[in-house]
Each structure stands twice: as C-alpha cells, then as structure tokens.
Amino acid sequence: MSAVLVVNSGSSSLKYQLIEMEGESVLASGLIERIGEQTGSVKHTVTAGGDDETFRTTEPVADHTAAFRVMIAAFEQHGPSLQENAPVVVGHRVVHGGKRFFEPTVVTDLVKINIEDLSDLAPLHNPANLDGITAAQKAFPNVPHVAVFDTAFHSTLSPAAFSYAIDAELAEKNRVRRYGFHGTSHKFVSEATAAFLGRPLGDLKTIVLHLGNGASACAVDGGRSVDTSMGLTPLEGLVMGTRSGDLDPAVLVHLHRKAGLGFDELDTLLNRRSGLLGLSGRGDMRDVVEAAGAGDDRAELALEVYLHRLKHYVGAYIAELGGVDAIVFTAGVGENSVVVRERSLAGLERLGISIDPERNASAERGARVISTDDSAVTVLVVPTNEELEIARQSLSVV
C-alpha cells in the first residue's frame, strides 16, 4: 500500500492529509492552528470505513518543526499508524512558482533557494510554505518531498493573456506579469468534469469558477489554462471574502494622495478589508446571503457586486474560448450556495445557459449537473480536492 502525506503550511497553520493512493482514500487529516502563539489548537481526524472521528486539543506549538512533532504524536495516539501507512512521498502546496516551476518538483536545496527567491511575489505564502518544507524534511528525512505550485497550471497562458500593458522592460526586470493561482484546483476540477461527462478532456472548453474565501475563474481549453482571473498576486479578478479583486489602479494613487494611506495600509485595505467584508461588514458568503435575504441593503449590494463581477468573467471567457461546453462551480461558495449559482448565470439563456432550479437546489453532494436538459452549455457543481491532486502529482514524480 502506498500512502502520500500532503502538507499545506501557512504562516501560523499546518494542514495535512494522509491519503492511501490505491483507493485514493483519506486515512487521516488535520489542522494545527495558531502556531507561534501562546496556545495552539490541534485537530486530528481519523477516517475509518467512512466514519470520521475527530480529536481536538490545545497546546502551545512554537513553530513548524514543533507542529510536525504534534502531528506525529496525534498519529501515534489516535492512529492510523505511520509505520503501517508510511508515506512514500510528502507533497507540499507551494503558492508561487513564478516562471521557474511549471511541474511538480522534487525538493532539493536549490529548489528551496528558488522558492525563497520568489518570496517577494508572495510574501505571505512562500516563506511559510518553505518553513513547512524544512520542518517536514526533519520529520520525514528518508522520503522525497515534492513541491506542487498553485501557479503551475497557468504556465500555458499566452503572452496576450499574461502581460500587463505597462513598460515592458520594467515589468520584465521586476517579474511583473499575470501568474494565476488556484491552479491545482482548476486542473483537478476541469479533469474531473471531463471524466464525469465522459468526454475527452482535449475536446472540452470549460470555465471553472473556484469560489472559496479566495476566488478565481479559469478558462480551460482542452485541459490547458488559457486565462484566469488572478494575476501577479491572488488579489486580481473576482470579488472575494476580504479582497477587492479588480479595480482601477488609480484608486491606490488617489487614496494615497487624498486620504494619506501608505502602501502597507493600502495593501491591508485591499487584501483584508475589502470584498464582501468591505462592502457589507460581513466576509462570509453565508452571512451575506442571509443578511441580504433579511433586507440588509449593504449585504444585498455586496452580493450584487460579487455576482456582477462573476458574470462579467463568464462572458469574457466564453468570448475568449469561442464558446463553452461546461461551466463548473467549485469550492466553499461554489459547491454550497444555491443563490450564487442561480443568480450569477441568470438571464444567459441566449448564450445557451439555463439552470434547472430544482437540480440547483438539490442537497446532493458530489459532481452533478444543474443545467436543464436542453441547455446547450452544461452547468455543473464539481467538488474540488486540492489535496488529492497534490498527492497524485507528488506520486507521479517519484
């Protein structure tokens, strides 16, 4: 039996899954949060025969190295045995691969230097990912570690799609271009959609709408990403929980001159205090939908701006692809919000898009079609599984 340990390390968190790869089933998963604070929280879930059992503790977790000790202790205490299910490879999510990494890559010292070097493009993510890798190498010294990059799937973007229309030399020198993110999810979901529809991936034009706390759209032509809504950083594009998505860059200059906001404040404003939160005071889509339903005007406006932007990208990608076969909703909002799915694609019947209200409202889990039988474009909900995709890619290179 071959198991893969998948690791996603944030600056103060460590998420993990142990996946048995023959049946592609999760054996255990966990989340260690508030690393570096006085008290950390630890959640370890053991999956056995479809039954989940979750164990929670709180204890101080000094750093990522300590977090791996805590994780291994949770496996020893609650199972499953890491001796019997020893990982053959550890797969790491790394956010930014820049122009260097297009493929899952076995981690060497040189690879780590390169990930570090890309930190200026993802200052919140790459250093944390790297801390996780270093700590994991100490905890699992005898297996290969593989880095799987969020940007990699979008390496197929054309220069027309990835270039910003600014001074070319300045952009090149500072690596300013569109990279795109959520690639692991867009790849997984576009492939799962083709498999679910029983159509060859190479023949399918798909728009994937990954709507979580972060959100991005991706136009996929024959399995290749041809455009995506996030850019140099995960700030561009759709309206998100706390991120603005697209705006006129002159807004920054204006707010700097007029309101005296410095660059760090602007960064915080756009990444942490904008989006649904900025518009309505609520960053969680469930709360926004509920408040809008109860007549809260700000929440309704936040929802409308969110939907307006989403429809805008759907239209743009239909044009870029020259027509579309499937539009797919995924991630927390995409998989769960009946309202967002219905309203974002309302009124598009002339483009061959009609949602069936009953199918859309069904509580069924798993991949499913939500468009009417006579809709020329198939609209689907397909749950994403980034951990499984990382596990598959990691295993494929060792």
Q: What is the dihedral of CA 342, 347, 351, 357, to 10 degrees?
A: 40
Quick one: 337 or 385, whose CB is closer to ligand ADP? 337
Q: Of 318-347, which residues contact ligand ADP (CB under 6 A)?
A: 331-333, 336-337
| CA 102 from centre of chain | 17
Rounded Cα gap, residues 94 and 129, in angstroms: 6
Residues in 60-99 that interact with ligand ADP by CB under 6 A: none
Is 323 annotated as a binding-site member?
no
Q: Which helix (H) or strand (E) holds 215?
A: strand 215-221
For residue 68, give every residue at least 6 positions away whose Cβ sits within 8 Å of its Cβ, in sequence order, or none.
14, 135, 136, 138, 139
The yes or no reply on residue 241 touching ligand ADP (CB under 6 A) is: yes
Only segment of 112-120, 125-133, 280-288, 303-311 that touches ligand ADP (CB under 6 A): 280-288
Q: Which helix (H) or strand (E) holds 390?
A: helix 386-396
Q: Which is nearer to ligand ADP, 8 or 85 (CB)?
A: 8
Asked if 156 is part of the footprint of ligand ADP (rule: CB under 6 A), the reply reads no
Does the protein bind ligand ADP through residue 6 (CB under 6 A)? no
10 marked as part of a ligand binding site: no
Q: In residues, how long is the chain? A: 398
Taking CB under 6 A as the binding criterion, the range among 50-58, 146-154, 285-293, 375-383 that sits at the site for ligand ADP is 285-293
Which positions are catalytic?
A: 150
Q: Any binding-site annotation on 132?
A: no
The annotation status of 336 as a binding-site residue, yes or no, is yes
Least CB distance from residue 286 to ligand ADP, whole Å?
Answer: 4
Q: Find the helix packing angle between 64-78 and 126-139, rounded to 10°.
A: 50
Would you say 300 is a known binding-site residue? Answer: no
Using alpha carbons, select from 33, 30, 31 the residue that is nearest to residue 60. 33
266 phi/psi in degrees, rounded to 5: -65, -40
Among 127, 130, 61, smallest CA distance to 92 is for 130
The footprint of ligand ADP on this chain (CB under 6 A) covers a number of residues equal to 13
90/240 with CB nearer ligand ADP: 240
Asked whether residue 8 is marked as a ligand-binding residue, the answer is: yes
> How far apart, in whole angstroms, are the C-alpha atoms of residue 273 and residue 241?
9
How far apart (Å, rounded) are the C-alpha atoms in residues 398 and 387? 17
If binding is defined by CB under 6 A, does position 138 make contact with ligand ADP? no
Q: Which of 326, 322, 344 is nearest to 380 (CA)?
A: 326
User: Counting contacts by CB under 6 A, is residue 286 touching ligand ADP?
Assistant: yes
- Regarding 32 and contact with ligand ADP (CB under 6 A), the answer is no
Q: Match 């994991």 to its residue by tokens.
A: 136
Does 386 belong to an annotated binding site? yes
Q: Does 271 bind ligand ADP (CB under 6 A)?
A: no
Distance, in Å, from the CA atom of 213 to the CA atom of 200, rounded to the nearest integer, reads 31
> Which of residues 10, 98, 104, 214 is near ligand ADP by CB under 6 A?
214
Q: Is 213 annotated as a binding residue?
A: yes
Residue 325: partners with Cβ closer than 8 Å, 6 or more residues away: 199, 204, 205, 206, 377, 378
212 near ligand ADP, rule: CB under 6 A: yes
Judged by CB under 6 A, the stretch of 12-20, 70-78, 210-218, 306-314 that binds ligand ADP is 210-218
**Residue given tokens 């929802």 in the structure block:** 303
Residue 284 binding ligand ADP, by CB under 6 A: yes
> Which residues fall in the annotated binding site for ATP?
15, 210-214, 284-286, 332-336
> Which residues fall in the annotated binding site?
8, 15, 93, 210-214, 284-286, 332-336, 386
> Which residues fall in the annotated binding site for substrate?
93
The binding site for ligand ADP (CB under 6 A) comprises 212-214, 241, 284-286, 289, 331-333, 336-337
